[in-house]
Amino acid sequence: MLLGIAAAGLPTRAAAENVDTELLLLVDVTPRGLNASEFDQVMEGYASAFTSSQVIDSIQSGAYGQIAVSLMFYGNASTQIVGIPWMMIGNATEAATFAALARALNQPAVGGTPAIGPALTVATLSFGTETGGAGNGFESSAQIIEVAAASVPVGGTAAVTAARDAALASGVDLINSIALGNRSAAIEAYYATNVIGGEAGGVVATSNSSAINGGLAGIIASQMNGGVSAGATESLSAVPEPSSLLGLLSGLALLLVRRRQP
pLDDT surpassing 70 at residue 242: no
What is the per-residue pLDDT for 238? Answer: 85
What's the distance, CA 215 to chain centroid?
A: 23
The pTM (predicted TM-score) of the whole model is 0.86
Q: Give, in words, the CATH class of 17-260.
A: alpha beta
pLDDT, position 140: 95
Annotated domain spans of the chain? 17-260
- Residue-wise pLDDT for 160-203, tens only, equals 999 999 999 999 999 999 999 888 999 999 999 999 999 999 99
In this prediction, residue 31 carries a pLDDT of: 80
d(CA 249, CA 261): 19
Identity of residue 223: Q
pLDDT band at 245 (very low <50, low <70, confident <90, very high): very low
Which of the pair, 9 or 62, is modelled with greater confidence? Answer: 62
pLDDT of residue 38: 92
Q: What is the pLDDT of residues 49-102, one digit of tens each?
A: 999 999 999 999 999 999 999 999 999 999 999 999 999 999 999 999 999 999
Question: Looking at residue 5, what is its pLDDT?
Answer: 36
The pLDDT of residue 255 is above 60: no
Q: Which amino acid is at 33?
A: G
Average pLDDT of 213-235?
A: 91
Top-confidence residue, 204 or 241: 204
pLDDT in tens, 123-161: 999 999 999 999 999 999 999 999 999 999 988 999 999
What pLDDT score was predicted for residue 7?
39
pLDDT of residue 240: 60
Q: Give the model's pLDDT for residue 185.
A: 92
Question: What is the pLDDT, as a whole number, of residue 54?
Answer: 94
How much is the pLDDT for 130? 94
pLDDT for the residue 48:
95
